[in-house]
Chain A
Amino acid sequence: MSAATKIVGIALAGVLLAWLPAAVSLAMIDGLTGSSSTPVFNLAAGEGRVITGDGNNLPVWGFADLDNPNNPIQGKVQYPGPTLIVNEGDTVTINLTNNLSEPVSLVFPGLDVASSTAPVFARGSKALLSSIAPEAAPGGSQRYVFTASRPGTFYYQSGSNQAVQLRMGLFGAIVVRPTQTTSKSYPVADLNLQDPAAPPSVPTPLANKTFSKFAYNEAGVPATVPVGATTISNLAASTGYDREFLFLLSEMDPNFQTWMDLGRDRSRHPANFGDWIVNNSSQKQDFTTWKANYWFINGRSAPDDMGTSFDPNLPNQPYAGMVAFHPGEMALTRFLNLGRDFHPLHTHGNHQRIVAEDGLLMTSAGNALDQTQTSAVGADLSTEEFTLTMSAGNTFDSLFWWTGKGLGWDGYGHKPGDPLAPYEYIGDHVVASAAPMVPEPVYGKYPTNQYVPPAPNAAADTTLAQALPILFSPDQLVFTFGQWFSGSPYLGSNEPLPPADVSLNLGGVSYYFMWHSHAEREIVNFNTFPGGMLSMAGVIPWSVALPAE
């Protein structure tokens, strides 16, 4: 938010309270999609500006979409560049126009580039290497063609003057969707999750988790695999998902960006990273001490990444970076790190399953590049982790779901006789018992293995209240802080919030878990917490609609 919009924001706090939750995009992946099997994207490299979460304003170099009338910011430089969404098998053409004052080129790691990938040595001189791929001269253009032979998460980035251009933001994501569209089911009965199609009053374990969307092809992947004498579900080898998100990570040293804006000799091309030496009475700085102090998800630092996509207040940063899904929905997040620092991305709420790296399945197939083999094995080398090590230039595909299973208490706060929620872990659901509900004396659990709830009026109230293993203070102020709280510890419930408290909680009844860089230094905006590489993952109860995918 700029200073101006902050003032407006304070003045209109009441309006925002009503407006924000409904308008939060909770977007899937925003981007440009190909209209045929031979999509053409016309991009232009140029200068733009980004606004950080603390109101700073910094210059960037980015790419603009020149020709898509459906893009609300057609023609404007974006940070990061437009996300290109294509299908496996497409032959993709990118026409790059260069509006910068130095050569720009594009490289496509992991993609089968049909146009030349030969480096450009001006006048055949080693010392005059200007690009590691064919370039667009200032004011000129260059054409790139690649075949999207394999599904996966990829990117494009500049291959020219990378020390400057990659710090300035000349990169963007490429998503290649697989050909597989036939749905596929994996047995999950052992998870004991309530079948959303069954009557909610009857505990009915979901037999199969069925996917119709996939990150990679898996038509031949077996639904079960033998482990010794038994057979287990092969769900962990699947890349099926219900909702899809993208997290493109990057960072900036504001001193460098400011120097690029105001300090450098603009007559010198290309801009020279080594010229960044400031030695005056107020500042002493040299390029070897480049150190980020802003961090971005999809080009926005917190809290802006949790706003709406295509927010007119952020004209060069169209993409929001916030995740939201219903309990039991599988969320695919495509992670890309296009900064130069490492960013350990940490999920709260559950572990994530990393099914692919650098656009290739985590597979035991002899050659992951061979899609027929990966289709037979699936992501069988996938790993569960809660802190994803992302080096510069890495991409990962992550699957995450939240059901509340294993909490040990009823996360929905059900009372005896209440129906089950879709995908609720049946083992934690509060059930009515014909037998007297006598708590076990040591651990304070009922025979159903559920915690005894606090009974404010214990002597009089013999019915089960709500099943949280701690005493929940009636004084909301003790617990209520943060804009993501519903006033209730239970999913699907809300309670009164303190007067004037602004809640961004979708429907007022959702759970929110922070997803952020585990290098906690990076969840600040210019040293001030909170900010930076931080976003929220919303668990939205099924009673609240999410956009259809």
Chain B
Amino acid sequence: MECQHLKKLCLALLVQTAALAAAAPAMAVTYNLRADRTTITLPGPDGVPVTVPVWGFADDGNTPGSGTVTVPGPKLSVTAGDTLTINLVNRLPVPVSLVIPGQRIVPNANPPGAANYDASVPAANISQNPNFPVPVQPIAPTQRVRSFTTEAAPNGGSAVYNFGVAKTGTFLYESGTNPALQIPMGLHGALVVGPGASGAAYTPTATNSATSYDRDQVLLFGEILARYDFTLNRFFTMNEDVDRNSCVTAATDTGSCSQWKTPLPYPLTITTDNSIKSTLDYQPLYYLINGKSYPDTVAAQPISTAPGAPTVPGIYAPYGTAGRTLLRMINAGGQSRVPTIQGSYRDNSSTDPALALPRAIYPQPIAEDGNLYPYPKQEFAPILPAGKTMDVMLNLTGAGHPGYYTLYDRTLGVTNAGHFPGGMLSFLASWDPNTRNCSPFKGDLNGDGIITISDAVLALRKVVGNQYDANGDVSPVVNGLPCGSSTGPTTGTKTALDITDSLFILQKAVGTAPQPY
């Protein structure tokens, strides 16, 4: 019941709560979100970054316009038992609304009469179905629903969404307006409600009792859609088409797309070859986890929010007593995914990883769509359809040694513009860098991202000079993973690189490093 997020407006409803004199005081959590345009950069094929225009949400906190627009939108956190209100400001040239499947919405939270339909008259009558046997006059509809809920008007409008006391669990928030277009454009994000008492993601039951976790991590799956233009011989993302379309129809287009006036509504988007497209004409070109595709998914990530916290390359999933990681999987894309976690860990039956027993990783789905299962499942290929949320427990309490485990989409969304490796591919880094700094990328002493002869030379100099280097401390290699000395130079198990380190780095540089077995 504490206000732990600076960007949240936390108002204790002390008066009401005192009057009710019931349970602990509920907080009113309010988020001020802004729908706006930005660009994201993805690792394109052959290492050339690709910039893609997107629509996303920003958390403006107390200062309108201050937040950074991201895709997916900011992760919304609500403590169990708190109420959730979202104020939405819309800076996009199209109406936008917000829905959270699985959360109830307080009726009449918005003023009556707010538009959620399209009142424009089509340029031409909708032609009748030629297969319909009875002649019917063409009908010219004048109103068409375009939103599931109250809209924030284009170019600065706003709306308020009050969800009351939020239901505990993992949820997807997304645009409720022209969702076929706006959700893949980037208007989506994660909502996490909880944990509840004693750190449980859900209230445990007798048959699904292990709902508490040590760490949790949102994994939001999304796609960037594209089509191939056979005239210009290149891909166009749907985002590009929609974005450009918004520009060319602007009355005062400055070329920067900053002055949108009358964007063409879905499903019509005019493409460079002047053909009319719908989202059906686009297929995933980039596959994203939390807005990133591999290798950006394994950029160094701090293991805690503490200043200067050590980092791991990927998703931190420690083992041992604090080895329960809850993966909150959400699919904001349009296709079903199969998030697979691959690998076996070494259990704690021996201090020597070579002698410890191997155990397959079985991810354990415990809840779906914010509802706890009566019994947990254990699947290595769980289905995550579009719009689904699934809470998957990864239990590494029985592991006794470091590991680096693959998480990837078994429907083969593992490419960047067709190039493997890429896409929905990441790794679970299972070690505590405070005590043992393992990494498959160690050996890169000069920090240029690749191990070359110069790294080997640097390592050899350290060996000769009796010097230590954390990046060069690769030996011993634990189950295929360069880990180095267990405690580093300060406590003295290894005070300098040794010849084994430099030899391994040299072998790695020339491509003859022995593969572990």
Contact = CB atoms under 8 A, between A and B. Distances in A.
Given A279-B230, A284-B230, A126 B517 contact: no
A194 B90 CA distance: 72
A113 B449 contact: no
B517 A368 contact: no
A286 B235 CA distance: 10
Interface stretch (B19-27, B92-100, B249-257, B375-383): B375-383
A366 B410 CA distance: 27
Interface string B476-501: 00011100000000000000000000
A130 B342 CA distance: 15
A200 to B, nearest CB: 44
A372 interface: no
A340 interface: yes
A532 B210 CA distance: 43
B515 A124 contact: no
A536 to B, nearest CB: 28
Contact of B360 (A112, A115, A164): A112
Given A107-B342, A127-B295, A342-B336, A113 B360 contact: yes
B370 interface: no
B419 interface: yes
B450 interface: yes
A111 interface: yes
B379 A132 contact: no
A384 interface: no
A113 B343 contact: yes
A358 B207 contact: no
B412 interface: yes
Contacts of B418: 163, 272-276, 287-288
Given A163-B418, A274-B415, A288-B285, A125 B408 contact: no
Contacts of B379: 357-358, 360, 394
A163 B230 CA distance: 23
A109 B338 CA distance: 13
A125 B451 contact: yes
A116 B359 contact: no
B338 A124 contact: no
A507 interface: no
**Which applies to chain B's interface (DSSP): helix, strand, loop or mixed?**
loop
A439 to B, nearest CB: 45
Interface in A101-118: 107-118
Given A119-B404, A125-B450, A162 B515 contact: no
A117 B405 contact: yes
Interface string B271-310: 0000000000001110000000011001000000000000
A147 interface: yes
Interface stretch (A5-13, A201-209, A213-221, A385-393): A385-393
Contacts, number: 201
B403 to A, nearest CB: 8
B451 A358 contact: no
Given A123-B450, A125-B451, A116 B515 contact: yes
Contacts of B340: 109, 393
B34 interface: no
A124 B443 contact: yes
A324 interface: no
Contact of B427 (A119, A123, A161): A119
A144 B285 CA distance: 34
Contacts of B45: 274
B81 to A, nearest CB: 29
A120 interface: yes
B357 interface: yes
Contacts of B285: 288
B410 A115 contact: no
A364 B508 CA distance: 47
11 contacts: A116-B479, A123-B451, A123-B452, A135-B515, A162-B420, A270-B420, A272-B420, A274-B415, A274-B417, A289-B228, A389-B383
Interface of A: 107-130, 132-135, 142-147, 159, 161-164, 166-167, 270, 272-277, 279, 284, 286-289, 340-342, 357-360, 364, 366, 368-369, 381, 389, 391-395
Given A107-B343, A119-B404, A391-B410, 8 more contacts: A110-B380, A117-B405, A117-B479, A123-B450, A124-B450, A163-B414, A270-B420, A289-B228
Interface of B: 43, 45, 47, 207, 209, 226-228, 230, 233, 235, 283-285, 294-295, 298, 313, 336, 338, 340, 342-344, 357-360, 362, 375, 377-383, 403-406, 408, 410-412, 414-421, 425, 427, 440-444, 449-452, 479-481, 508-509, 511, 515-517
